[in-house]
A and B are shown apart, each in its own frame.
Chain A
Amino acid sequence: MNLILKKDQLNHQLNAWRQDYEVHAPQSLENYTHFLPLQDEFELALDKAHNTRIPPKALFLPTSEALLKFTRVGGYEQVPTETAPRLIFGIRPCDAHAMTMLDTVFEQERYTDPHWQARHDATLLVGLGCHEPCQTGFCTTVGSGPFNHAGLDAILTDLGEIFLVETLTEKGERLFSQLETATEEQSTQASELQQAAAASMPIAFEKEGLKEKLDQNFDSPYWEEVSRSCLGCGVCTFLCPTCFCFDIVDEAQRGERVRNWDTCMFRTYSLEASGHNPRPSRVERTRQRLSHKYTYWVDQINQIGCTGCGRCVRYCPVGLDIRAMLRKAQQLPSEVAHV
């Protein structure tokens, strides 16, 4: 159902939700925006940037968290996950889309991550569509779009003085039940705007046949070329909304088993206890990062594991651009001769 949320009523609405939820919304921190819980006084930064610097995955998989506590003399106890109801307001469609992909990792039939699941079950996602799409994002190229519904309970379209609200789940409907219904005119205006926004985004690279190209060129010199200036830092993966790797460490002094973000771009990620490293250089690590997103996810869930949010493009300290890397991959030979 389409409803109307007047912009001058927004703060009032957010405060009303605060009675029942911990409401997280993008606010300014340093030079960027960050999902922070709303306090009595708050200032939203919805227009400052499309995406928050740190993706909202951090609200479900924190950079570090204690899984259990133990003592030296024996015995341990699990650290319970906080499950206070949360509402994430202003998440962009690419980031919400990423949540559906991460669900396939953390909420598999056989292995469900209780921490992820508890947080996810307790959280509602209210999205804000991008009527003026960003420069580095390429959501439409990877099969999503600036008004994609995936993962969201409701999505807002900015119509100037008002937001048009489309509720997408029952929970989303309940959230906005107080609002008045949108006129047909307003709904049409919104859908035109949504289509125009999607149409304004250039196709960043040809998706067709890309997986095959990457699979067939596993040993190509291409990988050395595209990774030559890579620093091997954690920026592109830590800031990626779909990267989920973690490492589990026993902090013996504090008696805690913790889980920390980890990344395939680090040397230590694939370093084995023997000292052998199957991905010995940035070449193999870069291949892993791209291949995971553009071929292994496709094998596993038949979807590209990249939502086109553009963070890795924007924040790579040496300006490496995944779009350019993939355009280049499309130039690779299709059939590699086998000797």
Chain B
Amino acid sequence: MPDLDALKAEAKRLLDEGVIEMVIGFKAGDTPLHPQPAFFKTSEEIDQLVYNALCQNNLATYLTRFPKTQKIGMLVRGCENRSVNALVFEGQHPRENLYLIGIPCEGIIDWRKIIEQAGEEVISVIEQSDNTVLVESKSGYFTLEKDTLLHESCARCIHPNPISADIVIGELLPEGDPALAREQVAAFANLSLQERYAWFRQEAERCIRCYACREACPMCYCEECFVDHVSPRWTESGTTPAGMQGWHIVRAFHQTGRCTSCGACERACPMDIKMTYLTEKLNEDMRQKYNFEAGMDTKTPPPFSTITLDDKSRFIV
């Protein structure tokens, strides 16, 4: 955990010195499992800043809401930093108008895993120094190993450190093992076609098309998402199998070379739908075939965002 006082001090300094106009971070939530994204404009407000492992949102999703001229400070973990980079590459905010306060990230806790063990009625959650989490719920007190509570995206994270922050608060962590990410991809990719389709169908069919996954995703900032387009319609509108599968497949493919593996989509989903097996497969393909990972800098174009005259696919040029 980074030192909260050091985070606050830096955020206050930035606002007091006028380096930036606003800090995007988190504040305590009204319920024990959900700290809230917050927008701090004065150094007094910074007193409310919190940061802990339950901060489940990718703050970069808010970046595209603000004018490009606005000078914005943001707390960034490894994945958020990469999302910001990818957004900067896509022209969504100039890097010079951003000040990234980096936090080496020990992983986000998936609140679902807390209620799985402690029951629905959670009263408080306290992270303890020995890598355990003390949960009080109506069913009693539970001391849970933090590692067992991590969201899957975090358990297999390759780059936990912010890679291009303006300042890093906290000790840098060792890099993750890409083999872990590959394992998850393999668990899906090595299945037979029928099994893969059954898996896909089983996840997609619980979808209610609330689009929380889209709204939580920093890279889904299209003014008009393909599912909202009516003439022509790109996919069926409802929760029919075709509608839900169309939504899931196309959303994933729109992230090819853009998804930074943050897992915010999955954490936002009210129906506990797994979807990162699709984006992770695409990310692995990007690594294997193009030696590319999204958001590692702000200059390298994602393979699918480039067109060259010697492109292998003749239909493009």
Residues of A within 8 A of B (CB): 29-32, 48-50, 53-54, 63-64, 132, 134-136, 228-229, 231-235, 238-239, 247, 249, 251, 253-254, 258, 260-261, 263, 266-268, 313-321, 323-324
Checking A32, A49, A251, A318 against B237 with a beta-carbon cut-off of 8 angstroms, the contacting residue is A251
Asked if A31 and B37 make an inter-chain contact with CB atoms under 8 angstroms apart, the answer reads no
Asked if A136 and B112 make an inter-chain contact with CB atoms under 8 angstroms apart, the answer reads no
Residues of B within 8 A of A30 (CB): 206, 271-272
Asked if A258 and B211 make an inter-chain contact with CB atoms under 8 angstroms apart, the answer reads no
Distance (Å) between the CB of B264 and the closest chain A CB? 8
Residues of A within 8 A of B292 (CB): none
Asked if A315 and B270 make an inter-chain contact with CB atoms under 8 angstroms apart, the answer reads yes
Across the two chains, which residue of chain B brings its CB closest to A228?
A: B39
Asked if B270 and A258 make an inter-chain contact with CB atoms under 8 angstroms apart, the answer reads no
Residues of A within 8 A of B30 (CB): 313, 319, 321, 323-324
Q: A29-B206, A229-B39, A233-B268 are in contact. Are A64 and B240 (CB under 8 A)?
A: yes
Interface size on B, residues (CB 8 A): 43
Q: A229-B37, A231-B216 are in contact. Are A317 and B267 (CB under 8 A)?
A: yes
Question: B5 within 8 Å of A by Cβ?
Answer: no
Distance (Å) between the CB of A270 and the closest chain B CB? 13
Asked if B271 and A231 make an inter-chain contact with CB atoms under 8 angstroms apart, the answer reads no
Q: Which of B261-275 contact A (CB under 8 A)?
A: 267-268, 270-272
Checking B33, B36, B208, B268 against A320 with a beta-carbon cut-off of 8 angstroms, the contacting residue is B36
Contact with A along B207-237 (1 / 0, CB 8 A): 0111110111000000000001000000011
Residues of B within 8 A of A64 (CB): 237-240, 243
Residues of A within 8 A of B162 (CB): none
14 A-B interface contacts by CB (under 8 A): A31-B272, A49-B120, A63-B238, A229-B38, A231-B212, A231-B268, A233-B211, A234-B208, A234-B209, A235-B268, A249-B238, A258-B238, A258-B240, A318-B57
Tell me the complex Cα distance, A235–B269, Å. Answer: 8
Residues of B within 8 A of A232 (CB): 215
Tell me the complex Cα distance, A177–B173, Å. Answer: 67
Checking B31, B37, B206, B228 against A313 with a beta-carbon cut-off of 8 angstroms, the contacting residue is B31
Residues of B within 8 A of A239 (CB): 270
Tell me the complex Cα distance, A251–B257, Å. Answer: 32
Asked if B34 and A316 make an inter-chain contact with CB atoms under 8 angstroms apart, the answer reads yes
Tell me the complex Cα distance, A32–B212, Å. Answer: 17
Across the two chains, which residue of chain A brings its CB closest to B123?
A: A135
Asked if B239 and A319 make an inter-chain contact with CB atoms under 8 angstroms apart, the answer reads no
Distance (Å) between the CB of B95 and the closest chain A CB? 24
Question: B122 within 8 Å of A by Cβ?
Answer: yes
Tell me the complex Cα distance, A54–B57, Å. Answer: 23
Tell me the complex Cα distance, A302–B127, Å. Answer: 46
Residues of A within 8 A of B236 (CB): 251, 253-254
Asked if A132 and B208 make an inter-chain contact with CB atoms under 8 angstroms apart, the answer reads no
Distance (Å) between the CB of B198 and the closest chain A CB? 16
Q: With A31-B112, A49-B120, A238-B270 given, name 14 new contacts (CB 8 A).
A: A32-B272, A135-B138, A136-B31, A229-B62, A231-B212, A231-B216, A233-B211, A235-B210, A249-B238, A266-B228, A318-B36, A319-B33, A321-B31, A323-B30
Tell me the complex Cα distance, A132–B239, Å. Answer: 35
Checking A247, A249, A313, A317 against B212 with a beta-carbon cut-off of 8 angstroms, the contacting residue is A317
Chain A contact residues: helix, strand, loop or mixed = loop
Contact with A along B5-41 (1 / 0, CB 8 A): 0000000000000000000000001110111111100
Q: A30-B272, A63-B209 are in contact. Are A319 and B267 (CB under 8 A)?
A: no
Residues of B within 8 A of A54 (CB): 208, 271
- Counting chain A CB atoms within 10 Å of each CB, which of B210, B212, B272 scores highest? B210
Q: Which of B114-150 contact A (CB under 8 A)?
A: 115-116, 120-123, 138
Residues of B within 8 A of A229 (CB): 36-39, 62
Residues of A within 8 A of B120 (CB): 48-50, 134-135
Asked if B270 and A235 make an inter-chain contact with CB atoms under 8 angstroms apart, the answer reads yes
Asked if B34 and A318 make an inter-chain contact with CB atoms under 8 angstroms apart, the answer reads yes
Q: A64-B239, A314-B31, A317-B267 are in contact. Are A134 and B208 (CB under 8 A)?
A: no
Distance (Å) between the CB of A187 and the closest chain B CB? 27
Asked if B238 and A260 make an inter-chain contact with CB atoms under 8 angstroms apart, the answer reads yes
Question: B81 within 8 Å of A by Cβ?
Answer: no
Asked if B271 and A53 make an inter-chain contact with CB atoms under 8 angstroms apart, the answer reads yes
Residues of A within 8 A of B116 (CB): 31
Across the two chains, which residue of chain A brings its CB closest to B269?
A: A317
Asked if B208 and A319 make an inter-chain contact with CB atoms under 8 angstroms apart, the answer reads no
Tell me the complex Cα distance, A41–B254, Å. Answer: 42
Across the two chains, which residue of chain A brings its CB closest to B238?
A: A64
Asked if A319 and B206 make an inter-chain contact with CB atoms under 8 angstroms apart, the answer reads no
Q: A53-B270, A258-B237 are in contact. Are A321 and B29 (CB under 8 A)?
A: yes
Question: B61 within 8 Å of A by Cβ?
Answer: yes
Residues of A within 8 A of B240 (CB): 64, 258
- Counting chain B CB atoms within 10 Å of each CB, which of A54, A231, A316 scores highest? A231
Residues of B within 8 A of A249 (CB): 237-238
Asked if A266 and B31 make an inter-chain contact with CB atoms under 8 angstroms apart, the answer reads no
Distance (Å) between the CB of B63 and the closest chain A CB? 13
Asked if A134 and B39 make an inter-chain contact with CB atoms under 8 angstroms apart, the answer reads no
Tell me the complex Cα distance, A249–B227, Å. Answer: 13
Q: Which of B133-184 contact A (CB under 8 A)?
A: 138
Asked if A317 and B237 make an inter-chain contact with CB atoms under 8 angstroms apart, the answer reads no
